[in-house]
A and B are shown apart, each in its own frame.
Chain A
Amino acid sequence: MRRKSLLIIRSEFMRRVTSKTFIVTTLLGPVLFVGFIIAIGVISLTSIEDDLFEDQIHRIAIIDQTGVLSDLVLSHYIGAHSLIIEDHETALNEMFNGGLDAYILIPEEVLFGNGDPVLYSKEGNFYGIQLAMQSVIDKSLKDYLLSEENVPDHVRSILNRSVFLDLIQLGEDQQEPIYEGEDVEFGYVMFGVILGMMMYIGIMIYGTLILYGVIEERSTRVVEIIVSSVRPFDLLMGKVLGIGLVGFVQIATWMVMIIGGMVLTSLVMAGFIDPMMYGIEVANETQEILSSINMFLPNVTPWMILCFILFFIGGYLLYGALFAAVGSLVDSPQESQTLLIPVMMPLIVSVTFLSSILLNPNSHLAIGLSLFPLTSPAPMMVRLALGAVPTWQILLSLGLLVASIFGSIWVSARIYKATVLTYDNKVSLKTIFGYLRGV
């Protein structure tokens, strides 16, 4: 590599990693990330349970027209809301006088398999209560009907039994399981989503840094001084690689912090768990102890880390060069928004389909998206995390990605060279093809 390209890489890298913003975001990133996930969990739990705050405890009346279910309903209910038995007319009056928040009418026909109970409310946003009460009434009704038929206890336990489908993923030798456990599939899905989103967010964040870097050099006119010392191509590549290095350092730090944090937390928690309580042997590995209490420790293989690094670098270079070209076509970040939409569209499409890839990682859609270079990084990471990708597909995807990087850099270098010193560019397909032809 040319000496001047290295100088630009160093300058771009040092300028950013020594800034306070970089240090703060690098150190606080994982904290904010974990905090965000915890906050979402807490908020969604409280919205369903509604039992954290006093003012969210509702008074709900049960109007039991069957005459036999109300006691069972009260005994099965374990939530924090206040349930009372009322007749229909009183409940209706009470609700409009403010004495009740809602009432549930259980019609007599439910005993004969007709009709359903109805929840009446004034406000209408009782989705959490609706779900909870539905299962309580369902259970109460079944209990009553089974008692009426004198069903013995062992038959009841058969009816109550549930089956979970466990997952065991076998290694190459077809014998040793790579991982097994009740909740392993959920863990893999989460891990896949985290990797896919990190890939997408990483490409977006560092691509945008390139875009802003190019715009800043143009708007401050520093660029003319620099291109009188180096070729525009060297400046473009120096910028893309320098900022890429910044991203690499930041993401690597985050990954070390997140994985380190998870391992540390797991070890601490494992220390507090008595294996005997869960019916497993004391000599079990930490991971097995943790899986017994549904805690998941991601099974990160070196191959997966290598793939993540390669796809991240590939996706970043592919999009980074295109972002630089967009930056050289506009005079301000505001102007870049319109041009960024077509450039980012494939990336957005790839993230939009992540949920369907999670459900079926070997579908034609999933394979197509993880092979097509403009969309491949995020979907491929999700599929890799789910452990469902043949090696030839990974290699083909990487090959296509590398070929596209050369194409993207060629296109960007042409546009960049033609426009980096011109302002108020009129952007159209015709002018862009003109730049590509070197006109």
Chain B
Amino acid sequence: MNSLILKNVTKRFGDVVAVSDISFKARQGRILGLLGPNGAGKTTIIRIVTSILNQDSGDVRLHGRSVGLWSQEQIGYLPEERGLYKKLKVNDQLQYFAELKGVHRKESKDLIKYWLDRLGLGEWGERKAQDLSKGMQQKIQFIATILSDPRVIILDEPFSGLDPVNAELLSDIIAHFKQEGRIILFASHRMEQVEKVCDDICLIAKGQLILSGDLIEVKRLFPRNKLALEYAGNLPFLDSMEKRGEIQILERYEGGCLLGINQPCKPKELLNQLLKLEDFDLYRFDLLQPSLNEIFIRMVGENI
């Protein structure tokens, strides 16, 4: 029951189908990565989940109940294109956003102080938003998202514009929310971040669901087609293998190389061959999993 479920959701704008028959499930205590190229339909899906838009067909259920005005107070949403009232004091805008999410005025003051201190902005509450740096404003927007202690947190490119230290700080807070059992949706183009943060992924292109599921399971669906070698000595047969099309030498460096494995090549046989070589010491033979970026390009490239 404690989940967010989209079932056969479709949304059209005039003749354009923005989202077509999308279904997925976001579970509590897990982070779901929503991936897709520009115009894939990610923002439309998020706007349907947050009840900003209504779907034409299908159902979106939070904790077993169709979303609507009731669920808006349960969801904290950090949009990709976000901003603040430039001339309003930080405390005042955070209080306004919190009250709109149903937090009582008195309670919100303590919460604002707590979060400003935690994100190193304790001194900035009485300043206007226009006096803050872009990074500081990003953190204020993040606080606005989580201030009402929402059960569902939707973050669209949360790390954009943040330096590594602050990105790490936010990442820790997100991990903490995950441990607390919240449902977290994480929309991004940054594959390395998604890979690092997400437990499940949902890949969307042209409004359609291309791939979804547990990140580890999804990765298993794709063959390990890269090999990292580290060694001492000579490797006499690599060039001839490349000429035969069995491998591609992607990178060669002192004491190692990175190879792309093609269909005819069998890694086990290659390992046996290497072990039999004389004056050759093998330190690393690592059959690498494809990165999410590679999966993304392969899948979306095929579908665009």
Is B97 a contact partner of A229 (Cβ separation < 8 A)?
Answer: yes
Chain B residues with Cβ below 8 Å from A230 are 72, 100
Is B96 a contact partner of A7 (Cβ separation < 8 A)?
Answer: yes
Q: CB-defined interface of B50-83 with A at 8 Å, one 1/0 digit per residue?
A: 1110000000000000000100110101010111
B86 at the A/B interface (Cβ < 8 Å)?
A: yes
Is A221 a contact partner of B81 (Cβ separation < 8 A)?
Answer: yes
Chain A residues with Cβ below 8 Å from B73 are 229
Chain B residues with Cβ below 8 Å from A229 are 72-73, 97, 100-101
Chain B residues with Cβ below 8 Å from A228 are 50-52, 72, 75, 77, 79
Is A224 a contact partner of B100 (Cβ separation < 8 A)?
Answer: no
Complex CA distance for A224 and B77, rounded to whole angstroms:
9
Chain A residues with Cβ below 8 Å from B101 are 229
Complex CA distance for A229 and B70, rounded to whole angstroms:
10
Interface residues on B, range: 20 to 34
Question: Which B residues between 79 and 132 are near A, CB-CB below 8 angstroms?
Answer: 79, 81-88, 92, 96-97, 99-101
Q: Which of A224, A226, A227, A439 contacts B81 (CB 8 A)?
A: A224
Q: Which of A4, A220, A231, A434 contacts B85 (CB 8 A)?
A: A220
A218 to chain B: closest residue by CB: B83
Q: CB-defined interface of A211-232 with B at 8 Å, one 1/0 digit per residue?
A: 0000010011110111111110
A352 at the A/B interface (Cβ < 8 Å)?
A: no
| Min CB–CB distance B141 → chain A (angstroms) | 8
- A contacts with B: majority SS: helix
Chain B residues with Cβ below 8 Å from A8 are 100
| Min CB–CB distance A11 → chain B (angstroms) | 5
A421 at the A/B interface (Cβ < 8 Å)?
A: yes
B32 at the A/B interface (Cβ < 8 Å)?
A: no
| Min CB–CB distance A298 → chain B (angstroms) | 38
A14 to chain B: closest residue by CB: B92
Given A225-B144, A228-B52, A228-B72; A7-B81 close (CB under 8 Å): no
Chain A residues with Cβ below 8 Å from B96 are 7, 11
B93 to chain A: closest residue by CB: A222
Q: Which of B47, B51, B52, B83 contacts A222 (CB 8 A)?
A: B83
Interface centre among A15, A19, A216, A229 (most CB of B within 10 A): A229
Chain A residues with Cβ below 8 Å from B82 are 221-222, 224-225
Q: Which of A4, A19, A220 contacts B83 (CB 8 A)?
A: A220
B72 to chain A: closest residue by CB: A229
Given A11-B96, A439-B14; A221-B52 close (CB under 8 Å): no
Complex CA distance for A123 and B144, rounded to whole angstroms:
70
Is A225 a contact partner of B77 (Cβ separation < 8 A)?
Answer: yes
Complex CA distance for A107 and B166, rounded to whole angstroms:
95
| Min CB–CB distance B64 → chain A (angstroms) | 21
Interface residues on A, range: 20 to 34
Question: Which B residues between 27 and 64 are near A, CB-CB below 8 angstroms?
Answer: 47, 50-52
| Min CB–CB distance B155 → chain A (angstroms) | 13
Chain A residues with Cβ below 8 Å from B141 are 225
| Min CB–CB distance B76 → chain A (angstroms) | 9
Is B79 a contact partner of A15 (Cβ separation < 8 A)?
Answer: no
Chain A residues with Cβ below 8 Å from B69 are 231
| Min CB–CB distance B95 → chain A (angstroms) | 9
B76 to chain A: closest residue by CB: A228
| Min CB–CB distance A308 → chain B (angstroms) | 32
Chain A residues with Cβ below 8 Å from B88 are 15
Interface centre among B14, B72, B75, B96 (most CB of A within 10 A): B96
Chain B residues with Cβ below 8 Å from A11 are 96
B154 to chain A: closest residue by CB: A228
Complex CA distance for A225 and B86, rounded to whole angstroms:
15
B95 to chain A: closest residue by CB: A11
Is A226 a contact partner of B86 (Cβ separation < 8 A)?
Answer: no
Is B79 a contact partner of A221 (Cβ separation < 8 A)?
Answer: yes
Chain A residues with Cβ below 8 Å from B97 are 225-226, 229
Question: Which B residues between 245 and 301 are near A, CB-CB below 8 angstroms?
Answer: none
Complex CA distance for A231 and B53, rounded to whole angstroms:
10
Complex CA distance for A222 and B82, rounded to whole angstroms:
6
| Min CB–CB distance B111 → chain A (angstroms) | 16
Chain A residues with Cβ below 8 Å from B85 are 15, 216, 220, 222
| Min CB–CB distance B22 → chain A (angstroms) | 19
Chain B residues with Cβ below 8 Å from A227 are 52
Is A421 a contact partner of B77 (Cβ separation < 8 A)?
Answer: no
Q: 19 A-B contacts, Cβ less than 8 Å apart?
A: A7-B96, A7-B100, A8-B100, A15-B85, A216-B85, A220-B83, A222-B83, A224-B81, A225-B82, A226-B97, A228-B72, A228-B77, A228-B79, A229-B72, A229-B97, A229-B101, A421-B47, A421-B52, A434-B14
- In addition to A220-B84, A220-B86, A221-B79, 14 A-B residue pairs with Cβ atoms within 8 Å of each other are A7-B96, A8-B100, A11-B96, A15-B88, A219-B83, A220-B85, A221-B83, A222-B82, A224-B77, A225-B144, A228-B52, A229-B100, A230-B100, A421-B47
Leading 10 A-B pairs by shortest Cβ distance: A220-B83, A229-B100, A221-B83, A224-B79, A228-B50, A228-B77, A221-B81, A222-B83, A11-B96, A227-B52
Interface, chain B (partner A; CB < 8 A): 14, 47, 50-52, 69, 72-73, 75, 77, 79, 81-88, 92, 96-97, 99-101, 141, 144
